[in-house]
Amino acid sequence: MSNAETFGRQAATYAKGRPSYPPDLFDWIAAQVPEHSLALDVGTGSGQAAMALAEQFDHVIATDLSDAQIAAAPYHPQITYRVTPADQSTLENTTANVVTVATALHWFATPEFWIEVKRVTKSGGLFCAWTYHRADVDADMETHLLTPILDIIDPYWAEGNRLSWRGYYPVELALPFEPVVMPKFTCELAWTAEQFADHIESWSAHFRAREDGVANALSDIRTKALKALGSDIRRVRLPLNTLAARVP
């Protein structure tokens, strides 16, 4: 099953379980460029990053290969959604001030994609990508929910996922531009155990595991964990692995 099919078939789960990203990340992105007319968000999924970019840029083009994901994205008057491959943005040459990729670059960091980034970005513009690292949760949530599920779904992580967990290293992603040092950013969330469980279920490895016949085991872990953890609000930290570069 392709990645587009995986995410497309669970578009509603993805939209429900994926949080927005830290506002200071988008403040930093906007501060790196003098003009804020157009941002291109590639692999937008259900539009979490695009929505935040629309607060900083006059217009956002948000693309994704999955029409189901795009259909789940919220409307915003400054966002134009397009169903198209990552390396075929449909933008005119040198029009984007920034190009961003949120939790998706590990699926399409190909030579063709980098050529497209160079083609559509204004000289001196910014490329920026980020992805979630392993969640930091309290001991109870780790014991009852996160560790048992990770133990089951570990064989179902695709190589792209494993690249994501390792960190976004310029050499490993064949980044052809000069990297820019970024601050560290973390999603700081106040979630119930149920909200965190919804986030876990948005992972592609969780979906593949369910499709492979272990849905009942995963559901059982969730049911028992939510009963043990209750409805208390808990601190959940999702550190981001990041990558940025200046496009010549």
CA proximity to 199, closest of 142, 168, 238, 164? 238
Q: What is the pLDDT of residue 109?
A: 96
**pLDDT by residue (tens digit) across 140-175?**
999 999 999 999 999 999 888 888 888 899 999 999
- pLDDT digits 0-9 by tens, 17-45: 567 899 999 999 999 999 999 999 999 99
> Does residue 197 sit within a domain?
no
Query: Distance between CA atoms of 8 and 157, rounded to whole angstroms?
Result: 17
Residue 126 lies in a domain: yes
> For residue 240, is pLDDT > 90?
yes
Give the Cα separation of 33 and 23 in Å (integer): 17
Query: Is 207 inside any structural domain?
Result: no
In a domain, 195, yes or no: no
Classify residue 171: in a domain, yes or no: yes
- 198 domain-assigned: no
Asked if the structure places residue 233 within a domain, the reply is no
Look up residue 136 and give its DSSP letter.
Answer: B
Report how far apart the first and last C-alpha atoms of the chain are (Å, whole number).
Answer: 37
* Assigned domain for 216 exists: no
Cβ atoms 209, 99 nearer than 8 A: no
Which CATH number characterizes residue 48's domain?
3.40.50.150
Report pLDDT digits (tens) over 55-91.
999 999 999 999 998 998 999 999 999 999 999 999 9
* Per-residue pLDDT tens digits for 81-130: 999 999 999 999 999 999 999 999 999 999 999 999 999 999 999 999 99
Q: Which domain holds residue 38?
A: 3-135+159-188+238-246
**Residue with more model confidence, 203 or 219:** 219
CA atoms of 46 and 24, how far apart (whole Å): 20
Domain count of the fold of the chain: 1
